[in-house]
C-alpha cells in the first residue's frame, strides 16, 4: 500500500481511478514559509512546487516505515505572480480578472519518498490560456462557484465548467488536475508496486 501525503481529493481520486490503492495521510507543513523562502531566492515556480511536495512527503515517512509516500504540489504562475487558493468569492473574481486573456503555467511537482529519502521526482509545466471572456460571463461563473472550484488555485477546474474559461490548453491533462500521473505509474511499475 502506498501513502499519499496530500489532502487533495482530486489527487486521491486520480490515483484510485487509475487502479492505484493509496491511503491519505495529509502532512501539515508551513507552505507560506517555504513559498516566501523560494520567492526570496528567486526560485522558479516548479522548484518551489517540488520543495513543497518533498516537504509533505518527508514529513510523514517516519510514520510509514519502508513504505512509498507520494508528495505533490502545484503552483499557478502567471507572468511571475503566484496564486494561492482564493480566500472567498471576491478573491476568486480578482484572480480570474488577472488571468483573463493571459497564459499561465501550472508548475506541478510529484515525488516519492521512503524512510526519510526522496527516491524519485518529476515536474511538469502545462500552459493554459484564458480567453478574453466578458464581465457578464465572469459574473455568471462566480455566481455558480462550487466548493471544489474554490479549493482550486485560479478558482477553476477544467473537468467542470472551468473549461469555458479557456481558449487553449497545452500539456498533460493529469498534471493540470494536480498529478503527473503517467510518469508516476512508470516509477511505481519499476518499484514492483504495479504489474509490468
Q: Which of 82, 100, 185, 191 binds a copy of itself (CB under 8 A)?
A: 185
Contact segment (CB under 8 A) with a copy of itself among 12-20, 73-81, 111-119, 146-154 equals: 12-20
Q: Which of 186, 187, 190, 191 binds a copy of itself (CB under 8 A)?
A: 186
Within 140-169, the residues that bind a copy of itself by CB under 8 A are: 140, 144, 159-161, 163-164, 166-169
Q: Are 2 and 191 in contact (CB under 8 A)?
A: no
Contact segment (CB under 8 A) with a copy of itself among 49-57, 58-66, 93-101, 132-140 equals: 132-140
Least distance (Å) between residue 107 CB and a copy of itself: 19
Among residues 93, 163, 168, the alpha carbon closest in space to that of 126 is found at 168
62 or 163: CB nearest a copy of itself: 163
Least distance (Å) between residue 28 CB and a copy of itself: 30
According to the binding rule CB under 8 A, does residue 134 interact with a copy of itself?
yes
DSSP 44-83: -HHHHHHHHHHHHHHHHHTTSTT--EEEEEEEEEETTEEE
According to the binding rule CB under 8 A, does residue 88 interact with a copy of itself?
no
Q: What are the grid coordinates assigned to 158, written together? A: 477544467
Which residue in the list 25, 30, 73, 90 is annotated as catalytic? 73
Neighbours of 117 (CB within 10 A): 10
Is residue 148 annotated as a catalytic residue, yes or no?
no
2-4/69-78 β-pairing:
parallel
Q: Which of 133, 150, 151, 191 binds a copy of itself (CB under 8 A)?
A: 133
Radius of gyration of the chain (CA): 17
Half-sphere exposure of 93 (CA within 13 A, CB side): 13
3-state secondary structure of 139: helix
15 or 58: CB nearest a copy of itself: 15
Q: What pairs with residue 113 in β-bridges? A: 69, 118
Distance, in Å, from the CA atom of 174 to the CA atom of 192, rounded to the nearest integer, reads: 22
29 or 175: CB nearest a copy of itself: 175
The catalytic residue positions are 73
Residues lying near a copy of itself in the complex (CB under 8 A) are found at 17-19, 133-134, 136-137, 140, 144, 159-161, 163-164, 166-169, 172-174, 181-182, 185-186, 194-196
Amino acid at each position: 500500500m502506498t501513502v499519499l501525503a496530500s489532502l487533495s481529493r482530486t489527487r486521491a481520486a486520480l490515483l484510485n481511478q487509475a487502479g492505484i490503492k493509496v491511503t491519505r495521510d495529509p502532512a501539515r507543513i508551513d507552505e507560506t514559509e517555504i513559498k516566501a523562502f523560494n520567492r526570496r531566492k528567486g526560485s522558479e515556480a516548479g522548484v518551489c512546487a517540488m520543495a513543497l511536495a518533498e516537504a509533505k512527503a518527508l514529513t510523514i515517512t517516519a510514520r510509514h516505515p519502508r513504505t512509498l509516500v507520494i508528495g505533490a504540489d502545484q503552483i499557478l504562475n502567471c507572468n511571475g505572480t503566484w496564486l494561492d487558493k482564493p480566500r472567498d468569492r471576491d478573491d476568486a473574481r480578482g484572480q480570474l480578472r488577472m488571468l483573463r486573456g493571459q497564459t499561465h503555467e501550472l508548475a506541478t511537482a510529484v515525488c516519492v519518498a521512503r524512510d526519510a529519502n526522496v527516491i524519485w521526482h518529476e515536474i511538469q509545466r502545462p500552459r493554459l490560456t484564458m480567453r478574453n471572456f466578458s464581465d457578464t460571463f465572469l459574473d455568471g461563473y462566480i455566481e455558480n462557484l462550487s466548493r471544489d472550484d474554490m479549493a482550486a488555485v485560479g478558482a477553476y477546474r477544467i473537468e467542470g465548467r472551468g473549461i469555458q474559461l479557456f481558449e487553449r490548453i497545452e500539456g498533460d491533462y493529469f498534471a493540470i488536475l494536480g498529478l503527473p500521473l503517467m510518469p508516476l505509474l512508470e516509477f511505481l511499475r519499476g518499484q514492483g508496486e504495479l504489474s509490468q
